[in-house]
Amino acid sequence: DAGITQSPRHKVTETGTPVTLRCHQTENHRYMYWYRQDPGHGLRLIHYSYGVKDTDKGEVSDGYSVSRSKTEDFLLTLESATSSQTSVYFCAISAGSGGTANTGELFFGEGSRLTVL
């Protein structure tokens, strides 16, 4: 398995509290992604990064922010958690294929289950 770890793996929090999920990689991959997975919705892209300090929005970015200050870490922050953000969050990394856009395999972390009460 690719060297990717997510923390925490499980978290229960209350509405209105801030939450930060961490994705850490040891592969020195360029691309990092955050997805959420909910029943009936598959994997939806929240934010992604194509380099240190380079990030962009995905399909469902409202209520989320990200930061990537170094290659190995990609942080996902919920500034004020809501019950609609209860989900399983997956981080994924990719080395890319050498071109200007990523066309490489994604390697996923084990997921972080977040429950917002």
Contacts to another protein by CB under 8 A: 31, 33, 35, 40-45, 48, 50, 56, 58-59, 90, 92, 94, 96-97, 100-103, 105-106, 108-111
Residue among 18 and 45 whose Cβ is closer to another protein: 45
CB of 94 vs another protein, minimal distance in Å: 8
Question: With respect to another protein, which residue has the nearer C-beta, 46 or 81?
Answer: 46
**Between 25 and 81, whose beta carbon lies closer to another protein?**
25
Q: To the nearest whole angstrom, how small is the minimum distance from the Cβ of residue 101 to another protein?
A: 5
d(CA 2, CA 55): 22
| Residue 100 burial class via C-beta count within 10 angstroms: exposed 0-12, middle 13-18, buried 19 and up | exposed
CA distance 36 to 87: 6
Q: Residue 92 pairs with which residues in a beta bridge?
A: 33, 108
Joined tokens for residue 99:
């071109």
